[in-house]
Amino acid sequence: MTRFLLSLSAILLIGISCRKEKLIPGHVTSTVDGIVRHTVTGEPLQGVTVRIYGCRGPRGFMPLATVGEKCHPMEDFAITDVNGYFNIRFNADGESEYFSAQVDPESPMSYEGTSEILNTGRYSNVALNAKNTKVLKLHVSIQQNPFDTLFISGGWRSNGFNVYKRQVDTTVYCRYTDAEAYIHLSVFDRSVGRSRTFRETFRAPQPAADTVEHEVLAENTRDWPTN
């Protein structure tokens, strides 16, 4: 019995190692449409980015929501309308064996999105799910900022904002998940050659509202600890 199992394992390994890739030619055109809905409530989500991914390797071994060695993002994408609807027509890139439509993990408007494998060269209709981020209205008030630039970052997938003022009284809008947002303010202190940083973890009240306001107050950015 043991010898039989070893032989079977060897055959499977040989079969996998000898598998030939069948890349889809670049002239093949496919179309996909569908609706993105909230994972919990089922409501259609507006403003969510759905992107096409080219994939290689055995389909059964690929976690659909994983982007890495087996899948790569393509330039083709669409943003859902008020009804959560999207439509994408794309050409094969000549480097993939099959394709999937996925809620873009880099999108600031959503998180924990799903994906579906598509019918190559044909029409596909898919149903995707995700959770939508909310709006964090962040008010920053600083009495003294003796440095050139104040960097403000908060929320989900935030690229941050630069403020060039000695006294700061500004409001920025970020996105946050249902759980929490990481607020990060920093300045560069040339006298010590290091950054001074303020950090705070903001936890939204539950149930999470579409827009939540939060305020950060500080006397002097020089009082912040260095990294």
Q: For 42-58, write each residue's pLDDT tens digit.
A: 999 999 999 999 998 87
Q: Which CATH number fits domain 134-223: 3.40.50, 2.60.40, 1.20.120, 1.10.3470?
A: 2.60.40
pLDDT tens by residue, 97-123: 999 999 998 888 888 999 999 999 999
* CATH 2.60.40.10 residue ranges for the chain: 21-132
pLDDT (0 to 100) of residue 20 = 61
What number is the average pLDDT over the span 196-212?
86
The string of DSSP letters for 28-50 reads -EEEEEEEEEETTT--B-SS-EE
pLDDT band at 4 (very low <50, low <70, confident <90, very high): very low
pLDDT higher than 60, residue 64: no
Q: Please tell me the CATH superfamily of domain 21-132, with its number.
A: Immunoglobulins (2.60.40.10)
pTM over 0.85: no
In which band, very low, low, confident or very high, does the pLDDT at 70 lie, cut at 50, 70 and 90?
Answer: confident
